[in-house]
Amino acid sequence: MKRESTQTKDNLTELQRTHELIYEQAAILSRSEDIPTAIQGMLAAIGNFVNAERAYIFEDKGTHYSNTFEWCAPGIRPEKDNLREIDLDTISAWTDTLIHGECIIISEVKSIKEEYPRIYDILKPQNISRVVEAPIMVDNHLIGFLGVDNAPVKTSQRVAETLQVLGTFIAITLKNQEGRLESLEQANSALTETNAALRVAYESANQANAAKTTFLSKMSHDIRTPMNGIMGMTTIAIAHIDDKEKVLDCLGKISSSSRHLLALINDVLDMSQIESGKTTLAKEEFNLSNLIETSLDMIRPQISERHHHLNIRVMDITHAHVIGDSLRIRQVFLNILGNAVKYTPDGGILSLAISEKPSVKKDFGCYEFIFEDNGIGMSEEFQSKIFQPFEREKDEHATTVQGTGLGMAITKNIIEMMHGDIKIESNPGDGTRFIITIFLELQNLNNVPTPIGEGSFSKPQDKLADFTKADYSDKRALIVDDNELNLEIASEILGMSGIQIETAENGKLAVDMVAGHPDGYYDIVFMDIRMPIMNGYESASAIRALDRSYTRHLPIIGLSANAFAEDVAMAKNAGMNAHISKPLDIDQLSATLKKWL
């Protein structure tokens, strides 16, 4: 609490110093008879205030932009004489932004090398790594821009706001040199608006800090709960090692707690990816009927445990073979069905209706999924914020259900990425109805309709029992992982299928082992990604480059905790045939062995 108070005090002091700088420079500009000298002094004040290496002004000269004012910190080489004529087209990417009154913040210049190579070629020779630029506007017309180079990253937003205000003063001063009073009044008005904007920015920062504190508090509690179960049940199992029934009970509870902990971690990572804009949707061919079946297989044990009754209706589906991200769609289904199971009292009724609607998008099918339950429902107030991260209903029953409050936020984001929509109908005590619409690209099957059948869905099976029935005793696998525990787990589980196991502790050793054995010695390689000496991507590429027909076709399967869509894509680009995420999923492992062996 004391640290937060100190941080708030420091933020207010910084805000006050910023205001003082703006007032001081505004006063100098408004009173000065020598505008160029006043502007040069202002650049020095800005540069020193934000710890920049350069502060400068570029003016629009009609045919080009020219560096007309420049201040440099001690020891920094001036560039003004080298930047007298910058072609308009060269920096059009910047001016297109500035002309709308927006600032430009580039925290790492090398990040623009591919997208804006001409701007990069100007900045890099000057040893510029960070830039902040603000427009100088007169009557909504861009006459130039004010900028600083290599100011600390943490100050970039504050610098941009300060430059934007001072750019306004420069524009007003240049336009109204004959009308000092009018200039000062406009400047005061601009300053008042900026004060309000800065205050809003400051309050937003405080809210972000509060949200971060709330997040850490909730996650600390939610993560420690299953961890306590895992550690506690392990201790109990060790104390009763000769009591098989007791140990089996503990192992069941450890497994349940582990799944819950994994779900928490997945939700946090998913939300982080979505908010950073890095989430991408895969494009893969799949059958909608199979997707629904497998999704229901995963949730059916929970439904049976709560003695719920599940009704499924499939109506008017003519195209079941589609292209999209089946993993994300299954995630949406499991989020909503999982909530229906958790928030419906034992013996409840759940239903899922699936239909294909007329599509306004060519070569895309429009699919509607309606999920209903007769559970506890939700208040109108909670419905308005159900898709916000960490929000949970404060109902007496709801508070006893485990969760992060991230599932529905993730669900909505995934649906919107598919250009779809999600609606809610609910009342406390009357259950809930979710209506989801998504668009999926149709596979090219010569326009032959591919209806979904309405038969019964498969029953859940003992995954491990089915896996151990397989016989791969005539096959040999190489497992590559730098973590001894991961090697032991993978070797033990794969060994249940009878397959012969060899291991390597890094990617370089794996390449040497494959290269040192004759063709056909290994039938499959399971490759971790993050390893010392040589990582999995490098190792897979090196194996493919051994210039043997055998190594070009040897199945290499990524086996990693790097589980995002882009990680899967990187694995395939490196020469891997498939990707399995940790913790190991028995069904996925079994399907992989069947496909590649």
Whether residue 353 contacts residue 343, with contact meaning beta carbons closer than 8 Å, is answered with no
Residue 174: is its pLDDT beyond 70? no
With CA atoms as reference, report the closest residue to 36 among 173, 187, 178. Answer: 173
Q: Are residues 17 and 99 in the same domain?
A: yes
**Helix residue ranges per DSSP H, 484-585:** 484-495, 507-515, 536-544, 549-553, 565-573
Which of 117, 142, 175 terminates a domain? The answer is 175
The pair phi, psi for residue 449, each rounded to 5°, is -60, 145
For residue 337, is it within any domain?
yes
- Higher-confidence residue of 46 and 250: namely 46
Q: Are residues 513 and 562 in the same domain?
A: yes
- Write down the pLDDT at residue 512: 95
- Write down the pLDDT at residue 208: 54
- Write down the pLDDT at residue 410: 77
With CA atoms as reference, report the closest residue to 287 among 450, 466, 103. Answer: 450
Average pLDDT for residues 4-29, to the nearest whole number? 68
252-272 residue pLDDT tens: 878 766 776 776 676 666 655
Q: pLDDT band at residue 168, thresholds of 50, 70 and 90?
A: confident
- Write down the pLDDT at residue 182: 54
For residue 447, is it within any domain?
no
Q: Are residues 367 and 486 in the same domain?
A: no
Q: What DSSP element (H or E) covers 238? A: helix 180-239
- Write down the pLDDT at residue 369: 94
For residue 213, is it within any domain?
no
Burial per residue of 77-86, b for 16 or more beta-carbon CB atoms within 10 angstroms, e otherwise: eebeeebeeb
Q: Are residues 349 and 418 in the same domain?
A: yes
Residue 22: is its pLDDT beyond 70? yes
Q: Which residues fall within 8 angstroms of residue 583, CB to CB, at 6 or more apart?
A: 258, 262
- Write down the pLDDT at residue 453: 39
Highest mean pLDDT among 122-136, 184-198, 372-386: 122-136
- Write down the pLDDT at residue 191: 66
Q: Are residues 296 and 258 in the same domain?
A: no
Residue 153: is its pLDDT beyond 70? no
And the tokens for 326? Answer: 């089946």
Task: Dihedral sign for Cα 518, 522, 523, 526, please.
Answer: negative
CA distances from 426 to 199, 224, 375, 380 (A): 39, 32, 10, 8
- Write down the pLDDT at residue 185: 61
- Higher-confidence residue of 550 and 416: namely 550
Highest mean pLDDT among 210-219, 349-358, 553-562: 349-358
Residue 398: is its pLDDT beyond 50? no
Within a 10 A sphere around the Cβ of 314, how many other Cβ atoms?
19
- Write down the pLDDT at residue 27: 78
Average pLDDT for residues 508-529, to the nearest whole number? 94
Q: pLDDT band at residue 278, thresholds of 50, 70 and 90?
A: low
Average pLDDT for residues 124-153, to the nearest whole number? 87
Residue 219: is its pLDDT beyond 60? no
Average pLDDT for residues 48-68, to the nearest whole number? 90
And the tokens for 293? Answer: 């079946």
Q: Are residues 295 and 438 in the same domain?
A: yes
Average pLDDT for residues 577-591, to the nearest whole number? 81
For residue 193, is it within any domain?
no
Q: Are residues 292 and 257 in the same domain?
A: no
- Write down the pLDDT at residue 563: 60
**Helix residue ranges per DSSP H, 2-116:** 2-31, 35-50, 92-98
Average pLDDT for residues 119-127, to the nearest whole number? 89
Residue 400: is its pLDDT beyond 50? no
For residue 371, is it within any domain?
yes
Average pLDDT for residues 419-433, to the nearest whole number? 90
Q: Are residues 487 and 556 in the same domain?
A: yes
Whether residue 225 contacts residue 402, with contact meaning beta carbons closer than 8 Å, is answered with yes
Average pLDDT for residues 206-225, to the nearest whole number? 59
Q: What is the mean pLDDT of the chain?
A: 80
Give the number of C-alpha atoms closer than 13 A to the C-alpha of residue 370, restricted to the C-beta side. Answer: 14
Q: Are residues 248 and 299 in the same domain?
A: no
With CA atoms as reference, report the closest residue to 79 among 135, 25, 150. Answer: 150
Average pLDDT for residues 408-412, to the nearest whole number? 81
- Write down the pLDDT at residue 211: 55
**Dist CA 60 CA 81 (whole Å):** 16
Q: Are residues 330 and 265 in the same domain?
A: no
Residue 557: is its pLDDT beyond 90? yes
Q: In what order do the strands lie in the sheet with 131-138?
A: 86-87, 64-72, 54-60, 141-149, 131-138, 104-106
- Write down the pLDDT at residue 444: 79
- Write down the pLDDT at residue 460: 38
For residue 204, is it within any domain?
no
Q: Are residues 64 and 143 in the same domain?
A: yes
- Write down the pLDDT at residue 13: 63
DSSP per position, 87-126: ETTTTHHHHHHHTTT--EEES-GGGGTTT-HHHHHHHGGG
Domain with residue 90: its CATH number is 3.30.450.40
Q: Which residues fall within 8 angstroms of residue 374, CB to CB, at 6 or more apart?
A: 344, 348, 349, 430, 431
Average pLDDT for residues 361-367, to the nearest whole number? 88
Give percent above pLDDT 70 in the chain: 77
Domain with residue 575: its CATH number is 3.40.50.2300
CA angle, 205 then 206 then 210, to 5°:
120
Q: Are residues 30 and 48 in the same domain?
A: yes
For residue 185, is it within any domain?
no
Q: pLDDT band at residue 510, thresholds of 50, 70 and 90?
A: very high
328-344 residue pLDDT tens: 888 788 888 888 888 89
pTM of structure:
0.42
Can you name the residues that pair with 104 across neighbouring β-strands? 133
- Higher-confidence residue of 450 and 318: namely 318
442-491 residue pLDDT tens: 987 654 444 443 333 333 344 566 677 788 999 999 999 988 877 888 88
Which of 108, 143, 175 terminates a domain? The answer is 175
Domain housing 147: 2-175
With CA atoms as reference, report the closest residue to 233 among 215, 258, 267. Answer: 258
Average pLDDT for residues 437-442, to the nearest whole number? 91
200-212 residue pLDDT tens: 766 766 665 665 5
Beta strand 284-287 with 321-324 is antiparallel
111-120 residue pLDDT tens: 899 888 989 9
Residue 86: is its pLDDT beyond 60? yes
Residue 390: is its pLDDT beyond 80? no
Residue 151: is its pLDDT beyond 50? yes
- What is the total count of domains within the chain? 4
- Write down the pLDDT at residue 467: 73
For residue 436, is it within any domain?
yes
**Dist CA 50 CA 73 (whole Å):** 11
Which of 123, 154, 175 terminates a domain? The answer is 175
Residue 511: is its pLDDT beyond 90? yes
Q: pLDDT band at residue 192, thresholds of 50, 70 and 90?
A: confident
